[in-house]
Copies of this chain bind each other. A is one copy, B any other.
Amino acid sequence: MTYRSSNRALEQKAERIFDPLFASAEISAVFSGKALMTRMLQFEWALAAALEKQGVIPQGVAAAIQAVTVDDLNIDEIAQRTADAGNLAIPFVAALTTCVAKERPELSGYVHYGATSQDVLDTSVVLQFRDALTHIEDELGAICAELVSLVTRYKSTLLPGRTWLQQGPPVTLGLKLAGWLDALQRHRERVQQALARCCVLQFGGAVGTLAALGDSGPNVTREVARGLELPEPAMPWQTHRDRLAEIAATLGMICGTLGKIGRDMSLLMQSEVAEAFEPVAEGRGGSSTMPHKRNPVASSVLLAAAVRAPGLVATMLASMVQEHERGIGGWQAEWETLPELFRLTGGALRAARQVIGGVTVDAEAMLEHLKMHGGVALSEAVSFALAAKIGKARAHRLLEQVTREVGERGISLRDALLSSAEIMEHLSTGEIDSALDPVRYLGSTDVYIAKVLAREGKG
C-alpha cells in the first residue's frame, strides 16, 4: 500500500464526485458533454437549414444532420482529439461529417459550411447559458415565493438586530427575510437583463466577416438566429466577451447574496444562539464522531459557493483580453470556468430553497436574547427618549455610562436607569418601560416589509 504505485491501476476517467453536493441536477444536465454535443448538432442543423433556404448549399444537408443524434458521436474520442485540435469543434465537425458521409456522402462536404469553430462553440454554449439562466430565473422565482410567505409569517417575530456581531435594537425576522427577498428581486431583474443582452447568436466565420458566404451572410445569419430562437447581434463578437463576463458577474452576485443568507443562517443556528435552524432530515448533517451534531449543511454549500464564485468571475473578466479577431488563451480559459460558476450557483440555489423552504424558528429564544446583558441592546431607545429632553449628545454620553454600569454591576438596564438620579430627572418610569419595550421600537419595519412584498404583488 505504498503511495507511489497506487494510481497505476486506476481508471483515469475524471468524475465529479462533488456534483450532488455543490451542483444541481438541472444545471449538471445542461452542461453535460452530451448536452453540449446536442447544442452543437443543433447549431450545425440550423446553419445547414439556413444555407439551404438561401440557396448556398444543396438541399438535404440539414435533414442529414438532423438524422444524426448525440449517441452517434463518440464523445470520449472527440474529447481526446481536442487535445491536438485545440478546440472541441474541430473533432466534432469531423465526427459529424463522417456520420453524414455514411448516409449522404455527396452532402458531407457542406457540413459546417462557412462557419468557424468559434461559431459553433460559442453559440452552443450560449444556448446552454440560456437554459441555465432560465433555470436560475425559475429558482429565484421559487425562492422569492417561499420568502413572501415566510416574511408574512414572521413579520412581527422579534429578535435582536445584530451589527458587527454585537446586539443592537430589535428587528423582526420578517424584516431580515425581507432584506433577503429585496436582494433576490434585484437579481431576478439582472438575470432577465443578462438573458436579453447576452444570450445572442455568434456567427462570423473565420475572422468575423462571413466572407465565405459572399453576399449571403446577413440572410443566412437571420435564418440561423431564427432557427435557434436566438437574438441576432449587430455584429459577431468573437473577441468581445463582455456578454459572457456579464453572465458571470450576475451569477457571482447571486452567490454573494446566497452566501450572506448562509452566513446569517449558520450564525442563527450556532449552539449559543439557536434561534433558527436548517430543516432536519434523516442522514442530514450528522457527524462521523459526535452523536449530537446537526451540521448546517445547506449553509455550508451557500458559503462555499460565495467563497468560490469571486475567483471564477475574476477569471472571466481576466479572459476578456482577447487578441484581434480571435484570441489565444482567453477564449480557452472560459470553457470550464463559466459552466463551473453555473454549477455553484445552481447548487447554492438548491441549498437556499432547502433552507428557506424548511427553516424552523425558535421565537422564544429570539425574544429571550433581547434580554441578554441586562437588555442593553435597547439603550438606543432610551437614549432617544432622553434626547428629546436633553439633546442627543448628552443623552448618548449618559447612556454610555449607564450601560457600562450594567456590565460592571451585572444588573439590568432598567434597574440601572431607575437608579440614576440624572436620568430619572427627565424620564418617568413609564417612559422608561415604554422605551424598553421592543415592540414599540421597530420604526419603519412594517413599511419596508410592505414595500418589498408589494413588488411580488403581495403585501
Contact = CB atoms under 8 A, between A and B. Distances in A.
Given A256-B320, A267-B323, A211 B380 contact: yes
Contact of A379 (B97, B171, B291): B291
B443 A162 contact: no
Interface residues of A, number: 228
B169 A292 contact: no
Interface string A304-346: 1011111111110111111111111111110111001001000
B84 A284 contact: yes
A131 B4 contact: yes
B208 A175 contact: yes
Contacts of A171: 207-209, 325
Contacts of A90: 286-288
Interface in A145-196: 160-171, 175-176, 178-180, 182-183, 186-187, 189-190, 193
Interface of A is mostly: helix
Contacts of A302: 329
Interface in A353-382: 369, 372-373, 376-377, 379-381
A319 B210 CA distance: 35
A176 B206 CA distance: 14
A317 to B, nearest CB: 4
B97 A393 contact: yes
B79 A381 contact: no
A202 interface: no
A315 B340 CA distance: 14
B315 A329 contact: no
A286 B87 CA distance: 10
Contacts of A233: 182
Contacts of A329: 259, 262-263, 266, 299-300, 302-304, 306-307
Contacts of A398: 291
Given A93-B288, A165-B296, A447 B273 contact: no
Q: Which of A303, A314, A444, A448 has the most CB of B within 10 A?
A: A444
B310 A318 contact: yes
6 contacts: A20-B81, A168-B206, A211-B443, A270-B273, A292-B373, A307-B315
Given A18-B82, A169-B209, 9 more contacts: A10-B70, A22-B332, A114-B384, A175-B208, A234-B451, A245-B252, A245-B253, A272-B369, A291-B399
